[in-house]
Structure 1
Amino acid sequence: MIKRLKKHRILSFILFMIPLLVLWIIWGNTHIETKWYQLMDDELPNDFDNYTIAQVSDLHNKNWGNKLISELETVYPDIIVVTGDLIDSRNTDVPVAVEFIERAAQIAPVYFVTGNHEARSDQYEELIEAINQTVILMDNRRFTLSSGVSELTLLGIEDPSFPGADPENELENLTEDVEGFKILLSHRPELFNLYVNQDIDLVFSGHAHGGQFRIPFIGGLIAPNQGLFPKYTEGIYSEEDTNMIVSRGLGNSLFPFRVNNKPELIFLRFSTN
């Protein structure tokens, strides 16, 4: 009788916890977590004090409706950087991606660098044609950001999944003869050593999806191109004079849900005082 009672209590507890777990996972996949960073660096010109950058990464065609746009509108950053996988190669929806870009561009200039899903999608050219007049495509390009009378250099490299892509060579060419503070948009955090070797000051990256399933006190479980217990999954990583911010992203791809790993929108503000 006592054993039956214990079994009944255990079963009741499990039946009680299952719907709570399901609701927690649903909530953790449908709410955006906003994370702020502040960066102070001697290389930053005073004119860039309080300059704010929003990072959107790994949307994978996720349609947030007004949620994501509303979060961006609460801040009105100086620029918005999109660090790859705007679309999902397994289920590409170009109109959803275009709608987000067009609405985001009404808030601030949008700078876009590709991810592996753009490289794999047979609708990539259609996407670029649709957003070409709205975003600044940063694949293997450099661009000057201005504030007051001062300037910074924004760089971007295309994803290594593109045929013939050579991130090391491209980044070396882009940084040649560039002085002052350098910001890089690159989808791949696992190339951190390359960014450090090229003396990049600040990197915005994604791709790892926060490790998809985050384990307390351990971190992410798995990430593409990093495998189990990946090193670069979320947050800020620093080595020598290089800081890299890795976004957990805002969508899902092969795995349809996240655990303990809410979608993330990042804001970074420069401070020169």
Structure 2
Amino acid sequence: MITRRGFLRLVGGSAFAMVSLGAYAVGIEPMLLTHVKRYALTPPHWPAGLKLRVVALADIHACRPWMTPERIAALAEEANALQPDVIVMLGDYTAGTRMVTGWVNASEWAPALSGLKAPLGVFSILGNHDWWEDRAAQAAGAGPTISRKALEAVGISVLENDVVRLEKDGKGFWIAGLADQIALLPNKAKGRRGLTGLDDLPGTLAKVGDTAPIILLAHEPDIFPKVPWRVSLTLSGHTHGGQVRLFGYSPVVPSAYGNRYAYGHVVENDRNLIVSGGLGFSILPVRFGVRPEILQIDLG
């Protein structure tokens, strides 16, 4: 039978453990050195002999004290050090939480990303927070957003329902980027009763002019069931791996599919999706079991 003293020790120990766990999740894990998550695969109909290294950054969510311009610039250096052929960014550059000690505006985070360098270029898409935090874009129901203008001002291409054809060792491939799937917030005056997407998957893929493989950038992974087999690989962010992940399970995932597309490499019907755990966080400044990560993907 547990004594009163034993009970108090148990309660005290449990409380201390909870406080310590919370302090780690808020103050330590979000600031840990970035983990490089490596994948190696040969997707369907990938050209023989085409070896391509893609480095991807997702969900930076610039803010102080966690994601300062200095830290973002350091992340750019880490990405460059992986010797990528091409660098892609998967959206959500703006802060996703109000719990900050200071804001980091586009005029600060975009120049910090300008140090990204790769032989075949640096390409980006936008995320929902890049739209949600832009009042003018919400009012107009259209861009260009502040984030898009800031990225383009430092020489980074933004793909919104657009494609670009690249070539390595005489073999071509396409980067296709979708506009955000939940870009516009509800606005009764504008006739928007729910979240409204600006993505156009069929229209985007229609711009692909030959049979070379396609790498699709889509901020939210929920588009994946609609992605045709023609696309060799889909890259997404948005979920942050649930921000809290225990034994391969995330209790809360911002996806209609729950844990199905929460994190990692997903293969369905011989189609490939990789979902990044991202670098920052949204709503609450918490990460536990999902260290900040940069993706290194070796294809072929």
- With the shorter chain as reference, the TM-score category is 0.7 to 0.9
Question: How many angstroms does 1:198 deviate by?
Answer: 5.5
List alignment gaps of at least 5 residues for structure 1.
none
Alpha-carbon distance in 1 for matches of 2:207, 2:283 = 33
CA change 1:89–1:37 in 2 (3 A) is: closer
- Which has the larger displacement, 178-187 or 25-34? 25-34
Does the 8 A contact of 1:152 with 1:180 survive in 2? yes
Give the one of 156, 160, 168 matched to 2:181: 160
Q: Which residue of 1 aligns with 2:161?
A: 140
CA change 1:245–1:42 in 2 (3 A) is: closer
Residue 21 of structure 2 corresponds to residue 21 of structure 1: yes
Question: How many angstroms does 1:2 deviate by?
Answer: 6.9
Structure 1 counterpart of 2:253, one-letter code: A
RMSD of Structure 2 on Structure 1 (CA): 2.7
Structure 2 counterpart of 1:148, one-letter code: D
Q: Which residue of 1 aligns with 2:36?
A: 34
Alpha-carbon distance in 1 for matches of 2:279, 2:21 = 21
Q: Equivalent pairs: percent with the same residue?
A: 24
CA change 1:41–1:166 in 2 (3 A) is: closer
TM-score normalised per structure 2: 0.78
Question: How many angstroms does 1:18 deviate by?
Answer: 4.2
- Which has the larger displacement, 119-128 or 242-251? 119-128
Give the one of 191, 201, 210 matched to 2:232: 201
Give the one of 244, 250, 259 matched to 2:288: 259
Larger relative strand fraction: 1
Aligned length, in residue pairs: 266
Q: Which residue of 2 aligns with 1:7?
A: 7
Q: Which residue of 2 aligns with 1:210?
A: 241
List alignment gaps of at least 5 residues for structure 2.
98-102, 136-143, 185-196
Deviation digits for residues 65-113 of structure 1 (CA, Å, limit 9, x no counterpart) = 5542342133121111101112236666213321232112478721001
Alpha-carbon distance in 2 for matches of 1:174, 1:198 = 16
Alpha-carbon distance in 1 for matches of 2:110, 2:59 = 15
Does the 8 A contact of 2:173 with 2:213 survive in 1? yes
CA change 1:105–1:83 in 2 (3 A) is: same
Does the 8 A contact of 1:141 with 1:157 survive in 2? yes
Alpha-carbon distance in 1 for matches of 2:119, 2:82 = 9
CA change 1:74–1:57 in 2 (3 A) is: same
Structure 1 counterpart of 2:299, one-letter code: F
Alpha-carbon distance in 1 for matches of 2:122, 2:42 = 23
Question: How many angstroms does 1:14 deviate by?
Answer: 3.0
TM-score normalised per structure 1: 0.85
Q: What secondary structure does 2:116 align onto?
A: helix
